[in-house]
Structure 1
Amino acid sequence: MSDDDASQPDVSGPAAGVITAALRRAIRLQSGTARRYVHSLREKHPEESPAEIRSRLDSLFLGTVTASGAAVGGTAAVPGIGTLVAFGAIGAESLVFLEAAAFYTLAVAEVHGVDVRQGEHEELLVMTVMLGASGTALLANAVSSGGGSAAGGSLAARALRVPGLKEINSRMMHRFIRKFAVKRAGLAMGKLAPAGLGAAIGGWGNRRLGRTVVDTADATFGAPPQHWSAG
């Protein structure tokens, strides 16, 4: 365990099971949806390049998570809503963020022509993007150890050639569970602030986390291709 891991609070037992199940459910639900959405965008905007479609995905994701964070922050401040009810809404909104991030990551993979449907690559890349810099560091180390660094392409593309993902996915999941729980807990307390402050904190906090997801997707997938691949 690294010093960074040791400094994080332990999240285990039922909480870990809930987060793990939520992540896998989000990926399962969003996998086909993300691919179909990218195809629909291409049909509606046939003149647009992969970079332009990717920009649309960035804006959609950031707008979605910002709005959901602000809405829950506002709901938590409404007079008459009990704290337990407010926390219930915050918990549901955390799942919205998780599903939005899964959708976004898988849609970006489609734009970049990275087929993640085999094995456990969907889970690997979604966790990588949501973890931020620590996720890309873990993935880069796995790619290097697995011999994928010699081949060209983005980190995401090279990850597809890494054999035996169970160990790296297990490490990713362990870190993801703790980081996700800690970050969402911090935002939850801010969203319970009175008046409009909770909405402001919720929207700002979600957008900040969303921006990290977008930046990490840049680092993981690299620049979009200049042209769409045939087929």
Structure 2
Amino acid sequence: MKAAGGTVFEKDGTPKASVLRAMERAVEVQRPLVLANIRRLQRKHPQATPAELVSIVEKHYLNTVTGGGAAVGATAVVPAIGTAAALGLSAAATVGFLEATALYAQSVAELHGVHLSDPERSRTMVMAIMLGEEGTAMMQSVAGRGGKPWASSLGKMPSGVMGSVGSSIRKQFMKRVIARQGTALLGRALPLGIGAVVGGAGNHAMGKGVIKAARRAFGPVPETISGELAEDLRQTPDTP
């Protein structure tokens, strides 16, 4: 257990720098991948409205993060893997959770007409959503939105303001994700099948929190799709 933990944590219990860098990179999903994800859903559900597509994205996201936590937790039961190795796998699961969250948040953004090609703005949006109430309050304050949805203002913020708020969001995000996922990471490594339950339940709860924060960030779903996705629909011939 000690050897595996040493690959993830420093002696003071904080995640190693390599783990922190992986966490930061995990929330940087490129926009072409986001658009490809939505186009795939549009092909599968050609008659779906934007609101229905958002619901599908939410369901897929929750299933992905819940299943990921349970799958990694289950490895602690396998004798050949054991609790020590499961702890290392849990670090990878944490990065996987962040990647799934980034893809989810940016997919929902596109369906709401929030098109962010700037990686810094996209990253700040994802981190703010993951911060929940704290991130919502910070972004609403900067955007001057009061209690209203704030995500649509991201593309309009001056670069200087964006850089400042992005730095603040990043600091709080890293503190919070270490606290949240640190507990979940250790929980997923529990032996005798307990880790599967804790991992799945923990990720499910965090995923629900992310969805709640995203709904507050974006507000009601538009009735029509805009941007490149709308152009795709215009170029697609009607099928009988």
TM range (shorter): 0.7 to 0.9
Paired residue type of 2:85: V
* Percent sequence identity over aligned pairs: 36
Give the Å deviation of 1:81: 3.0
Residue 14 of structure 1: CA displacement? 7.4
Kindly report structure 1 stretches of 4+ aligned residues shifted beyond 4 Å. Answer: 11-14
Checking the alignment, whether the CA contact within 8 Å between 1:35 and 1:106 is kept in structure 2 is: no
In the alignment, does 2:173 pair up with 1:176?
Answer: yes
- Distance (Å, rounded) in 1 between the aligned partners of 2:29 and 2:153: 25
1:179 & 1:34 partners in 2: Cα distance? 25
What is the distance in 1 between the residues matched to 2:14 and 2:74? 31
| Cα deviations by residue, 1:57-80 (Å, 9 ceiling, x for unpaired) | 001000000001001111123234
Report the equivalent of 2:98: 98
Contact kept? 1:30, 1:99, Cα under 8 Å: no
Distance in 1 between residues matched to 2:173 and 2:108, nearest whole Å: 20
**Residue number in structure 2 paired with 1:143:** 143
Conserved? CA contact 2:87–2:185, under 8 Å: yes
Equivalent residue letter for 1:65: V
Aligned to 1:158: 153
RMSD, aligned α-carbons = 2.3
Shift of 1:197: 1.7
Long gaps (5+) in structure 2: 1-11, 232-240
For residue 71 of structure 1, what is the aligned residue in structure 2? 71
What secondary structure is seen at the aligned counterpart in 2 of 1:117? coil
Task: Tell me, in whole angstroms, the C-alpha distance in 1 between the residues paired with 2:15 and 2:184.
Answer: 21
TM score, norm. by length of structure 2: 0.81
> TM-score under structure 1 normalisation?
0.84
| Rounded Cα–Cα distance in structure 1 between residues aligned with 2:30 and 2:76 | 28
Equivalent residue number for residue 9 of structure 2? none
Whole-angstrom distance in 2 between the partners of 1:45 and 1:224: 17
CA separation in 1, counterparts of 2:176 and 2:199? 18
Q: Give 1:200 shift.
A: 0.8
Which letter does structure 2 place at the counterpart of 1:184?
Q
User: Is this contact kept in 2: 1:77–1:192, CA < 8 A?
Assistant: no
Partner deviation per Cα, 1:116-155 (whole Å, 9 max, x = no partner): 11362101111011111111111111112xxxx49xx841
SS in 2 for 1:60: helix
State how far apart, in whole Å, the 1-side matches of 2:127 and 2:98 are: 10
Task: Report how far residue 82 of structure 1 moved.
Answer: 4.3
Aligned length: 214
Q: Is the 8 A contact 1:61 1:100 kept in 2?
A: yes
- Matches of 2:138 and 2:149, distance apart in 1: 15
Q: Counterpart in 1 of 2:204?
A: 207
